[in-house]
Amino acid sequence: MLNSNSRTYLDTNVYSRIADRCSLPINLGSLGNRTGSQVYLSPINIVEILQVTDELRREVLVRVLQEICTDRLLAEPELLIVDFIAERYQNDSLDQLRLQSPFSSTELARVWRDVKENPAKTFVFDDAIRERILHLKLFNQLTHVWFKGGGSFHDNSTALLGDYHGVSLREMATLMKQTIDEMKARTPESENAWPFRDMLLMLVCSLLVVGITPFPEAIDKLWQSLAIETTTERLEYVFKGPLGFLLNEGPLVGMAAVMAHQLSNRFNPGNLLDAFHIVYLPYISELLTFDRAMLTIAHTYPDSPNFTRVQPADKFVDELFI
């Protein structure tokens, strides 16, 4: 049994595997003797589960959450990304964006506590979040189609992002080309460096600059605190300005590594939300998963203190049903 002080985080596929092995109905306290381990739920877990279209299956998964997770919800990944930026940038205007803990204090956290305390309750999906995820997935699909056809940011304008928030495609392409030219001047780490860098640039653009992400409120607050109003200014602030460190370190780099791995495997986009789970690695003791791609990625970075926390979930699930 895990130490009660440890923080265990489960990939969403683990909850699905647990649900496969459950007998219905799932009675209170029926999921084995692992109550001593601290299993923490994330908003990304919730988002993925609520996308299950089969209503009965979805409610079984919610019941599994109620059985094995603590009532404290991990923070939205965007909040953790912004906290990293605020810590690394050390700008006084960002002090109010620093987190006191990796746990959420948003309305979703209150809803989860309510659902956890009352097994008769469940989640109601927010249509706004559903629409953001649809846009995110569409962006990801377009990205993979583009690269599968041999495209890259250092070719002609891609038109992947279109005309967002007042910035023209020409302006965006110009800024991207400047960034690519600078990165091309560096010595590549390996022959696979370009897919990773391309994914990183697109991830920074979609999530941080444009705000295509499940919970964009923290991203909006970041730019408001910096008094950055237009998308063009955001692009310059990241690619030519003080947030340039995000191209070399931090949670977006880890997310890009996952996305690049998916891209390099027969251009399979996989599950885009997998990348968001990586954001939680610094705040947990282990991330348990059945995703072989995720485990392969972890083994690719054996010296990383974060990726070494990614472990197979087989033993954990087996012990639930002892």
pTM confidence score: 0.82
In tens, the pLDDT along 91-102 reads 999 999 999 999
User: Which bin fits 90, alpha (ψ -120 to 50), beta or left (φ > 0)?
Assistant: left
Place of tokens 């109010």: 96
Across the strands, what pairs with 74?
A: 103
Walk along the chain (322 residues) and give the pLDDT tens digit of each residue.
333 357 999 999 999 999 998 877 776 676 765 545 689 999 999 999 988 889 899 999 999 999 899 999 999 999 999 999 999 998 999 999 999 999 999 999 999 999 999 888 888 767 777 777 777 776 666 655 555 555 554 444 444 443 344 445 455 555 555 554 554 555 544 445 557 777 787 788 888 888 888 899 999 999 999 999 887 788 888 877 899 899 889 999 988 888 777 666 654 444 667 889 999 999 999 999 998 878 888 888 778 888 899 999 999 998 888 7
Please provide the average confidence, as pLDDT, over all residues in the chain. Answer: 79
Asked if 278 contacts 74 with a C-beta cutoff of 8 angstroms, the reply is no
Report the C-alpha gap between 2 and 311 in whole angstroms: 14
C-beta of residue 316 within 8 angstroms of C-beta of residue 14: yes
- In the chain the first and final C-alpha atoms are separated, in Å, by 12
Residue pLDDT, tens place only, 214-257: 899 999 999 999 999 887 788 888 877 899 899 889 999 988 88
Q: Using DSSP, state whether 17 is helix, strand or coil.
A: helix
Q: What would the two tokens of residue 304 be?
A: 């990383």
Nearest to 78 by CA among 260, 222, 185, 293: 222
